[in-house]
Amino acid sequence: MKRIIAAAVLTVAMSVQAQNNNGGISAEMLDEIRNGYSDTPAEKAVRNALAGQSIAVLAVNADNAAMIDTHFSNRVLTKGITDQKSSGRCWLFTGLNVLRAKMIAKHDLGEFTFSQNYVSFYDLLEKSNLFLQAMIDNSKSDITDRKVDWLFQNPIGDGGQFTGVSNLIMKYGVVPSDVMPETYQSNNTSEMRAVLSKKLRQFGLELRGMKTADAIKRKTEMLTEIYGILAKCLGVPPTSFEWTRYDSKGNFVSRKTYAPKDFYNEFVGQDLENNYIMVMNDPSRDYYRTYEIEYDRHVYDGDNWVYVNLPVERIKEMAIASIKDSTAMYFSCDVRKFANTSKGTLDLANMDYESLFDTDFPMDKKQRIQTYASGSSHAMTLIAVDLDDRGNPVKWMVENSWGASSGYKGNLIMTDEWFNEYMFRLVLEKKYVPSDILDVMKKKPVMLPSWDPMFLPEE
């Protein structure tokens, strides 16, 4: 017994000695760490496999290899799949896909798409103005100020969220995709973003050293130069165009000349700025509160991102009501988590990281948000739900913007359990929102800083 006690005391003493080094890894601690690893044949087999294959492939759960049932009890009619290519415009594709589904159903069209490139042009021009005006507004603050520092770090990008869809379309309208088609630069935006960022940072520094009246005049000259860069990369957006309309059977209906705003008013006509609200499931913050994110907008004189934070069960109720009424929704989530891209499924059982690494990952959704382990990263169009006999959701489907060959026929199917853990945002028409939630939306929002990691632009 004395020997056992002595050995135990020695072990504790060695452990204390190993860590008594001001927080660094001492030689004794390293020996303890090494001795704690057992290089068994099973461990070696995993190590050999990981040396030649990706973690995502090796973590695939073979017991979950069968395809999820693709039947859905309720589904919104859509036609065609879009492809954002190598750009961060998922928010824009998603918003336009929601409106496209409405237009196709309302006017009996065949496959139809709006020009993402047209709205992208004005998005980047407006974001440039937002940055430059913010430089003028904060010119008295030191360059090391947290807000100024954030602005210089993030002068422009092609990511965004739904208020960009609403403000831009209500201001500039829309055009069909064949009127202003995609270009190489619109499909591959990284180089163009780098040029714009470099130019805006230069302009921002210049504006900080000017008097306000002079800076406002100079800003117009700067935006003229930005417009020229955009025109070279994306083309010149039309102020009017001729469009021939055909029905779903290919029959000629009409030919007419439109201005972009008139085209939107005739074929969609919704007030996007007042007819929709955004809801969020973020358990790290209080529910039934309204939040606003500073500088999280696309248009300087437009709207910041404002949302109501709700339990996921309330969000599901509204989503089901919208789908049952054949209305698609803007939806965003942490899309890469437990994703089987070849099948097109989002399922917590898709991956078995625990068995692969002989460990566990017990954090819940709140803890993942608080520790930067999860956050919304991608927007898609929610179009379907499968309900059981009691009306409870079993699975959901979103229309993605990664091309028709990706996922399940261009879509992704998620289990309801995955929805609970990795769904974050949904944009709904107000008619599907209960009065108690609309009342919460009327309250003054809590202002959150633009650099909060939960509100990075969706790409």
Residues carrying an active site annotation: 90, 378, 400
Least Cα distance to 280 among 425, 409, 154 occurs for: 425
Structure tokens at 296: 């999280």
Burial grade of 342 (CB within 10 A; 0-12, 13-18, 19 or more): exposed
Task: Tell me how far apart the 2 most distant CA atoms of the chain are, in Å.
Answer: 98
Least Cα distance to 276 among 99, 117, 455, 401 occurs for: 99
Structure tokens at 199: 């130019």
Structure tokens at 354: 């625990």
Facing residues of 308 across strands?
279, 290
**How many Cα atoms within 13 Å fall on the side-chain side of residue 237?**
24
CA distance 231 to 226: 9
Least Cα distance to 323 among 374, 272, 413, 383 occurs for: 383
**Can you tell me whether residue 345 is helix, strand or coil?**
strand
Compute the residue count for the chain. 459
